[in-house]
Amino acid sequence: MPLKNIRRSLRRHRDKEKAKVLQGFFKTGSGQYAEGDIFLGVTVPVLRTLAKQFQEIELKSAVELLRSPIHEERLLALLVLVLQYRKSDIDNKNRIYRIYLKNTKYINNWDLVDVTAKHIIGDFLKDKDKDVLYGLATSSFLWDRRIAIISTFHFIENDQFEETIKIAELLLSDRHDLIHKAVGWMLREVGKRNLEVEEKFLKEYHKVMPRTMLRYAIEKFPEHKRQAYLNK
């Protein structure tokens, strides 16, 4: 299907008022983390429906869509890639994985990372060397670092916590709150499955980790335990 048809279908669902709200919510103003990003105001449920409708498009078309200045076009492309990845053989999974890594500069907001990284990067690396994650975790590009930690969600869901803990340690001194939130979230997910592993990390680092990271990590703790960590 020609991309112009996909874009036309997408624009049928645009909402100018919602677009204004999203541009504020996703920090697109001058000096903000998503400066200049353009929104159509299309909801995620609609984008997921469209992704299923267009999931058979060629990879080169998905890449072209991913490189769009329009936020929803990039998200739609990524949702298509996830769907294609899930039904692919190992060769095509490798192709999609490499496309993802080659195009991280377009995966440049937290929603784009959070709905895709574990499904492509995390899944692909589950039984492979994890060095690429450490390269991402030490990147100067904010979204590479978020991809690194969120990709480990796949391992967490399979009761493998080592990479999450190691990358969390690397990101302890990160200065961006979107990394603090992501690391805290992943630590919380570790704790849901193995509280001992999470608390071992917290006991070692809770005094030096960013406050937002700590708050996210202990969000589900009983109140007395939360306060104990916050007040130590």
pLDDT in tens, 176-222: 999 999 999 999 999 999 999 999 999 999 999 999 999 999 999 99
Task: Express as a percent the part of the chain with pLDDT over 70.
Answer: 100
Which 3-state string (H, E, C) describes the chain?
A: CCHHHHHHHHHCCCCHHHHHHHHHHCCCCCCCCCCCCECCCCCHHHHHHHHHHCCCCCHHHHHHHHCCCEHHHHHHHHHHHHHHHHCCCHHHHHHHHHHHHHCHHHCCCHHHHHCCHHHHHHHHCCCCCCHHHHHHHCCCCHHHHHHHHHHCHHHHCCCCCHHHHHHHHHCCCCCCHHHHHHHHHHHHHHHHHCHHHHHHHHHHHCCCCCHHHHHHHCCCCCHHHHHHHHHC
pLDDT band at 59 (very low <50, low <70, confident <90, very high): very high
Average pLDDT over residues 81-105: 98
pLDDT band at 2 (very low <50, low <70, confident <90, very high): confident
Domain with CATH 1.20.1660 in the chain: 1-120
Q: Are the C-beta atoms of 197 and 155 separated by less than 8 Å?
A: no
Summarize pLDDT for 14-32 with one digit per residue, the tens. Answer: 999 999 999 999 999 999 9
Q: Give the CA count within 13 Å in the CB-facing half-sphere of 61.
A: 16
Chosen CATH of 125-232 out of 3.40.50.880, 2.160.20.10, 3.40.50.150, 1.25.40.290: 1.25.40.290
Using DSSP's 3-state secondary structure scheme, residue 129 falls into: coil
Neighbours of 137 (CB within 10 A): 24
The CATH number assigned to the domain with range 1-120 reads: 1.20.1660
pLDDT band at 232 (very low <50, low <70, confident <90, very high): confident
Give pLDDT, residue 202.
Answer: 97
Task: Express as a percent the part of the chain with pLDDT over 90.
Answer: 97
pTM, whole model, 2 decimals? 0.95
Give pLDDT, residue 190.
Answer: 98
Structure tokens at 42: 């299309």
Burial 210-229 (b: 16+ CB within 10 A, else e): beebbbbbbeebeeeebeeb
- Mean pLDDT, the chain, rounded, equals 96
